[in-house]
Structure formats: structure tokens, C-alpha cells
Amino acid sequence: MDKILIEGGEKLRGEVSVSGAKNAALPIIASSLLTEGSCVFHNVPDLVDVKTIKKLLVSLGAAVEAKGNTLQVQAGIQQCEASYDLVKTMRASILVLGPLVARMGRARVSLPGGCAIGARPVNLHLKALQAMGAEIDLRDGYVEATTKGLKGTTIFFDTSTVTGTENIMMAAVLARGTTVLENAAKEPEVENLATALNGMGAKIRGAGTDVITIEGVTSLDSVEASIIADRVEAGTFMIAAAITGGDVVVKGCEPKHLEALTAKLREAGASIEINGSSVRVSGGNSVHSVDITTLPYPGFPTDLQAQMMALMTVAIGTSVIRETVFENRFMHVNEMMRMGADIVIDGNRAIVSGVNRLRGAPVMATDLRASASLVLAGLVAEGTTELSRVYHIDRGYERIEEKLSRLGANIRRVRE
């Protein structure tokens, strides 16, 4: 298993380009199942999770061809089962459920199961499909869905769910009649998916707001669409600049998608200049503690909570970080404390008292964003940090150690 070694203390300087968004690429690639036409997607990131969903589509019968960051998919469907051995490596595989039921009238998808950050149920996905006329059975750890034809209806999501909104939006594009999603997720990745679907001939209005209206059509065509920039990767590099007191230009991002983080970094004392699709972050010599509450978009993203906590461990003062989206997203806390951080967990709050310095240590990645937060802590810790289980970070970051090393970090990957 690979490890990442970091010698802390270097201030990051220079420019870094952001890759396509993992959480937009996954639903958009899944959406190619809805059409017999040829789909061409640009700016697809080279990530383990993207490799997984490509494998999943091939297992269903699709022809998939990658040329650099462009992906071509022709989804002839030979079978409608997404097997456990693929789904267990990536929960977002549930995103093939809606398209398969919509196009084929049936699907058998392994239940994704929980992960380190929470139980991650999909009950809202299933309840919505049932409301649209699908028969849903749970058997042997699989969801079995069948329908004689999905019908449009109004669906109110009990909680804002990103992949739930995406799954049902995809199911609705081929349903008979109109579907209205209320309390829909407003994340930019949902909007990116709607743009790709409308490019195929779907009729979706309101994506990016909490009410999305989908007028069913009988079939979809070919499409060429681009994946938006990854706001979580961009935010991770912005925090890397702040935590090392460096001066970094993050290029090819969408500053509008980063407003919650930008506001918090400014409040913490970093200076941020926005110039088109570039954001320049220069961390002063010290940052001050700020309080964070994670919320659905446009609130502070849960996917940047761990990274912001790393910054707060070396800030001046005490910060209260509340995680309201997932029930167990503090797996990085114990590892940070082994590096000398002073953090007390109280329910869904972490009270972080800034310390003068962190000490490098062997630490273990537990989930994707926790891994990124430990890399950030390693960048500023005294001595060597050795991060194991690096496969977690490769799920969501394209060669992160190469991008950081080009910014001056003393970081390298060792293959074990």
C-alpha cells in the first residue's frame, strides 16, 4: 500500500490547476445510461472513483473510451445488475439505479452500505422511486426495482440529499408527465448534471435551486458536456496556502462555488484575490480561529470541514466546528491529536484550541477528506508525517502529492 511522506515547514508558492469535479463526474457519467446516443464528457478527472464507475458501466454493457480527460460512452445495456464487489468500493454507484429503472424498467443494485463518515442510507432515493411507480424490494443486500413505466409526481425530500436529488432527477427525465422535486439539493454538481441531461434533450428547470421541475420525454439523444471544476479540490489548495503562510494562485476554479470558504478564510486573516477563474490566497504569518458550521450548499461544505479543522489546529484562539450533515465525520480528529493538536469532541461539535506547532507523526487515512486534512497538517508540522492508506485520497484527488510538490511542498509518495 502506498504511503505519503511529508517534511513540514515549507511555505507553498506558485500556481496550481484544479481538475474536474469528482462529484459532478460520477452522476454525469451515470446519466449516459439514459440514452442510446453517444455521450462525450470533457474535463473528467483521473480518479479512482471515476475508474470505478467506468468499470460499473462496462459491466452493464456500455462501451467506454477515455482519451486524456475526455470520456466517450455509448451505453448499450446488456444487463441491469450493479454487483456488490463494485458497489462496495464506491457508494456513489447507487447513481446507476435511477437511470437503469428509467431506461430499462428494472435494476438490481447492491445497497452501498455505510462508510467511515456515517450510515449513508439511501431511503430517500427509494421512497421517491416508489412514489414514481417503481416496485422496490430489498433482498440479500440488494435493491431490486421494477416498473411498468415511471410516472411524474411531486416529491418532497425530508433532508437535502445530493445523490438523492441526482438519482431522482435522472429517473424523472424519461417518466410519463412532470416531476417536481422540492427541498432538492442546490449543489453546483446537481446543476452540472441538469445541464448535461438537458444537452441530451431532457427538459429540466430550476436545478441549483430547491425546486426542480422535470418534464418527462420519451427518449434522449447524444450529448457533449463538460464537468465543472472541483470546488473541494480548489478549497483544499486554498487552505494549503493559508496553513503554510504561502502565496498560491488556484487556477481554473469557479469562485462562486467557494464563497462560504472564501468568507471564512478572510475572517481567519488570509488575504484572497479573485480574478476570473483564479483565486489567489496568501496566508499571513498567522491565522485566527473562526467558528464553522457545515450546511448544504451554499453553506460551508462538509467536504471541507476536515481541511478547515487542520487550519484551526494551528490558529490563534479557539474554534468551534459543528458538523451537521454527517453523524461521524470527525475521524481525522484522533490522528490530528497524535500530531499534537488540541481538540475536544462534544457530540457533533469539535472544539479546537490552536497550538503553536504540530509534530509530524505516522498517521492513518480513514476517509477521503480526512486524508486531505492530514496532508495539510503534515505540511505545517515539524518533522516527518507519514500518511498510510493513501488509496483513500486517490479516490478524490488527482496526484495530490505532485500538485503540492510543484508548489514547493516537501512531499513524496513511497510505494510499499
> Of the ranges 78-86, 154-162, 259-267, 331-339, which one interacts with ligand EPZ (CB under 6 A)?
154-162
> Of the ranges 1-9, 134-142, 158-166, 373-381, which one interacts with ligand EPZ (CB under 6 A)?
158-166
Pull the grid cell for residue 325.
450533515
**Secondary structure (3-state) at 345:** strand
Q: For the stretch 117-127, what's the b/e string if a residue is b when 16 or more beta carbons lie within 10 angstroms of its beta carbon?
A: beebebebbbe
Report CA 291 to chain centroid distance, whole Å.
23
State yes or no: residue 164 binds ligand EPZ (CB under 6 A). Answer: yes
Report CA-CA distances (Å) from 82 to 15, 58, 96, 134, 264.
40, 10, 8, 18, 41
Q: Give the residue, chosen from 369, 373, 380, 411, that forms a contact with ligand EPZ under the rule CB under 6 A.
A: 369
Burial of 217 (0-12, 13-18, 19+ CB in 10 A): middle
Using CB under 6 A as the binding rule, the residues of this chain from 313 to 352 that contact ligand EPZ are 325-326
State yes or no: residue 396 binds ligand EPZ (CB under 6 A). Answer: yes
Is 253 one of the catalytic residues? no
CB of 399 to ligand EPZ, least distance (A): 17
Q: How far apart are CA 209 and CA 193, in angstroms?
A: 13
Q: Which is nearer to ligand EPZ, 10 or 326 (CB)?
A: 326
CB of 317 to ligand EPZ, least distance (A): 27
Q: Do residues 167 and 191 touch, judged by C-beta distance below 8 A?
A: no
Q: Give the residue, chosen from 37, 113, 121, 362, that forms a contact with ligand EPZ under the rule CB under 6 A.
A: 121
State yes or no: residue 124 binds ligand EPZ (CB under 6 A). Answer: yes
Using CB under 6 A as the binding rule, the residues of this chain from 168 to 227 that contact ligand EPZ are 185
Using CB under 6 A as the binding rule, the residues of this chain from 284 to 303 that contact ligand EPZ are 302-303
> Of the ranges 114-122, 142-150, 200-208, 335-343, which one interacts with ligand EPZ (CB under 6 A)?
114-122
State yes or no: residue 400 binds ligand EPZ (CB under 6 A). Answer: no
With CA atoms as reference, report the closest residue to 399 among 389, 412, 409.
412
Please compute, for residue 61, the number of CA atoms within 13 A of its CA located in the half-sphere on the CB side: 13
CB of 271 to ligand EPZ, least distance (A): 28
| Dihedral angle of Cα 110, 115, 119, 120, to the nearest 10 degrees | -60
By annotation, the residues acting in catalysis are: 115
- Binding interface with ligand EPZ (CB under 6 A): 22-23, 26, 92, 118, 120-125, 159, 161-164, 185, 302-303, 325-326, 368-369, 396
